[in-house]
């Protein structure tokens, strides 16, 4: 089992979510996040004065999937979240040692 974490542009959330559903991903967790990468920040203006926004709003997606489908799911995310412009985000994959469904105490693949 793997944990896939993706940081994407907020307005891409619906598109990515629909694509993941179509790819039979059974569940995702979404968190609002802020951060910076190579995109850096940007400057906004308010009442004639400027201010720098260093931490840009992003959305963080997390899902645990079976090893067999990891690459397919990553492809789906990269395709649906991409705009080709700077700031599209990242996807990374981590190992998961154990998963338990709280309601039934099922473990492993059954719990996904």
Q: What does the binding site for other proteins look like in residue numbers (CB under 8 A)?
A: 44-52
Q: Helices marked H in 11-69 — which ranges? A: 13-22
Nearer to other proteins, 11 or 46 (CB): 46
* Token pair of 30 as six digits: 């979404």
Tracing tokens 């959330």 back to the chain, one arrives at 13
Nearer to other proteins, 23 or 33 (CB): 33
CB of 50 to other proteins, least distance (A): 6
Backbone angles phi, psi at 37, to 5 degrees: -140, -140
Nearer to other proteins, 49 or 105 (CB): 49
């Amino acid at each position: 089992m793997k944990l896939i974490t993706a940081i994407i542009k907020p307005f891409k959330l619906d598109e990515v979510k629909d694509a993941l559903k179509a790819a039979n991903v059974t569940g995702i967790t979404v968190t609002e996040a802020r951060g910076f990468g190579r995109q850096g920040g940007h400057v906004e203006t308010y009442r004639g004065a400027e201010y720098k926004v260093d931490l840009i709003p992003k959305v963080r997606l997390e899902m645990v999937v079976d090893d067999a489908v990891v690459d397919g799911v990553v492809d789906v995310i990269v395709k649906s979240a991409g705009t080709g412009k700077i700031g599209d985000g990242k996807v990374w994959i981590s190992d998961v040692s154990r998963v338990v469904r709280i309601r039934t105490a099922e473990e492993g693949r059954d719990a996904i």
